[in-house]
Amino acid sequence: KLSYASRKPPVTGTFSVDRLEEAARSKLQDSTDAFMYIFGSAGTGSTAEANRAAFRKWTIIPRVLRDISQRNIETTLFGHTYPSPLLLAPIGAQGIVHPEGELATAAAAGALGVPYIMSSASTRSIEAIAKANGGGPRWLQLYWAKNDELVLSLLSRAKASGFTALVVTVDTPFIGWRPFDLDTAYLPFAHGVGAQVGLTDPVFMASAGLEPFPEDEHPDYPYVAAHQDELIKNNDTKATVQTRAGQRFVGEMLDPTKVWDDLARLKEHWDGPLILKGILSTMDAELALKHGVDGIIISNHGGRQIDGSISSLDALHSIMKSRNIKEAQARGDFTVLMDSGIRTGSDMLKALALGAQGVCYGRPYMYALALAGRAGVDSQIRAMLADFEITLGLAGISTIDQLRLYADDLVHRD
Ligand code: FNR
């Protein structure tokens, strides 16, 4: 069994959540559009703040004098056993903070066996990310595109590349009002970044009247940002195609017309678990169950979509009051995951005590990627797992099953 705690100082320079963010901000000071894209939220940032405030409202009531010398944080989701309840949240455009982008993240997660949820707005292709992820578990996040043929092409590429679960993001019929990104006119995306999945897709490129891009010709950021305009002016075909096709792909991927009944079409073409990401309402959680999806990720997209929405932890607490959801979860028919605001092992414990079976880690791993590439992501994941294992033990709990058993008495809201 892996032990995650080590006495070595972290390669990112810090184990503090706040310092990590500050270190990334200063490392990216020449690329503030990249930092602000990651850091930023919708509107005034009140949802992102609420996510953190909700974790502070709940407190842990530890138990003592229980033998917690042997701790095991392994967790089973959809019939697979993973090292812990931690997954990596899908984050697009990773190449804007590190030249290896998603390859570094997928490699770090893969080596630890932590599920990597690949964003369909990645700066690397499905196939390249699968290769970097190696024997690790990987799920595909789908922005449910307008063009049905394109969706089917992405699903079949994912299946062929060993992605086992499909995460359909349903809180993004279009992008939220994000002042920081609007101030820079979405600079990275204006250059076609985050569209490598489209540039390497035969259906998408044929619809644009173009040949798919070979994988090694991915758009490198900030190189792209610095040179693209100049390249286009000089009639550089590759740069022009990248930008034009990239912008078009980002537009193509979001579809505000999709409704619950459309899920049947996806289910027809995906035989693994199907999970909806971005559920906050109990009624929607029950609709998800009714439409036969296998699970949900309760999430407000890290506060990036609606300013002033319910915090993700409060939404989890509400949704778990539904008897239908609870019973389906107990039967093993419905899996409840959550993200938005997870920063520490104690946050993980609180989310699990409130009924989540797994949690997705977001912005902090991007800061670690910016600071130290693959080694940074590796050390950041290990830190989370060590923190969780220590906190669990200090609360008097040895395993995830035990956590579930004692959940009601383990946390308290002031
Ligand atoms: C995201 N998120 C996201 N979600 C998704 O379904 N597809 C995507 O491509 C992206 N891209 C993305 C980019 C960046 C820079 C961020 C910060 C987030 C949302 C992500 O999966 C997750 O819900 C949040 O990151 C969770 O909030 P915290 O923990 O980062 O605050």
Is the ipTM here above 0.85? yes
Q: Measuring from atom 11 of ligand 1, which residue has the nearest CA?
A: 91
Q: What is the pairing mode between strands 75-77 and 80-82?
A: antiparallel
Check residue 61 and give its pLDDT.
98
* Residue of 143, 301, 306 with the most ligand 1 atoms within 8 Å of its CB, for mutation: 301
pLDDT value at residue 219? 55
The share of the chain scoring above pLDDT 70, in percent, equals 95
**Mean pLDDT value of segment 124-143:** 97
Cα–Cα separations (whole angstroms), residue 3 to 34, 136, 383, 384:
34, 18, 11, 12
Looking at residue 88, what is its pLDDT?
99
Whole-number pLDDT of residue 347: 98
Q: Which two tokens stand for residue 336?
A: 């409840």
**For residue 30, what pLDDT is reported?**
85
Q: What is the pLDDT of residues 178-209, one digit of tens each?
A: 999 999 878 777 778 888 999 899 999 999 88
Report whether residue 351 contacts ligand 1, using a CB cutoff of 6 Å: no
- How high is the pLDDT of residue 224? 56
H helix or E strand, kind and range, residue 126: helix 126-133
Please name the helix (run of DSSP H) or strand (run of DSSP E) that holds residue 165, with its range, or none.
strand 165-169
> Which residues lie closer than 8 Å to 390 by C-beta, 6 or more apart?
5, 345
CB of 299 closer than 6 angstroms to any ligand 1 atom: yes
pLDDT at 148 over 90: yes
Q: Which atom of ligand 1 is nearest to the CA of 297?
A: 23
For ligand 1, the distance from its centroid to the CA atom of residue 301, given in whole angstroms, is: 5
Residue 386 has pLDDT above 60, yes or no: yes
Residues forming beta bridges with residue 82, ordered by sequence position: 75
Predicted local confidence at residue 64, as pLDDT: 98
Which residues form the catalytic set?
Answer: 301
Rounded to the nearest 10 degrees, how much is the dihedral formed by the CA atoms of 168, 174, 180, 186? 100
The pTM (predicted TM-score) of the whole model is 0.97
Report which protein residue has its CA nearest ligand 1's atom 3: 91
User: How confident is the model at residue 119, as a pLDDT?
Assistant: 98
Is 222 a residue whose pLDDT tops 60? no
Instruction: Quote the ligand 1 centre to 398 CA distance (angstroms).
Output: 31
- pLDDT category at 247 given cuts 50, 70, 90 is confident
Which residue's CA is the closest to the ligand 1 atom numbered 19? 301
Does residue 278 line the site of ligand 1, with CB under 6 A? no
> Is residue 233 over pLDDT 80?
no
The CA-based angle 395-398-404, given to 5 degrees, is: 80
pLDDT in tens, 400-410: 999 999 999 99
Domain map (residue ranges) of the chain: 17-182+255-413
The residues, any chain, with a CB within 8 Å of residue 322's CB and separated by 6 or more, are: 282, 285, 286
CB of 200 within 6 A of ligand 1: the answer is: no
316 contacts 354 by C-beta, under 8 angstroms: yes
Q: Report the mean per-residue pLDDT for the chain.
A: 93
Atom of ligand 1 nearest to the CA of 167: 6
Locus of tokens 């995460």 = 167
pLDDT at 359 over 60: yes
Tell me what the mean pLDDT of segment 12-19 comes to: 97
Atom of ligand 1 nearest to the CA of 169: 6
- Atom 2 in ligand 1: residue holding the nearest Cα: 91
The mean-pLDDT minimum among 72-81, 231-240, 277-286, 320-329 falls in 231-240
What pLDDT, on the 0 to 100 scale, is given for residue 218?
A: 63
**Between 112 and 6, the higher pLDDT residue:** 112
Q: What is the mean pLDDT of residues 336-363?
A: 98
Looking at residues 275-282, what average pLDDT do you find? 99
Q: Are 161 and 278 spatial neighbours (Cβ–Cβ below 8 Å)? A: no
- Report the range of poorest mean pLDDT among 29-38, 78-87, 217-226, 313-322: 217-226
What is 176-239 written as a DSSP string? ---HHHHHTTSHHHHTTTT-HHHHT-HHHHHHTT-PPPPGGGPPPTTHHHHHHHHHHHTT-HHH
CB 362 near ligand 1, within 6 Å: yes
Residue 168 phi/psi, 5-degree rounding, is -100, 120
Superfamily for the 17-182+255-413 domain: Aldolase class I (3.20.20.70)
Q: Is 94 in the pocket of ligand 1 (CB under 6 A)?
A: no
- Of ligand 1's listed atoms, the one at least distance from the Cα of 119 is 9
Does any ligand 1 atom lie closer than 6 A to the CB of residue 305?
Answer: no
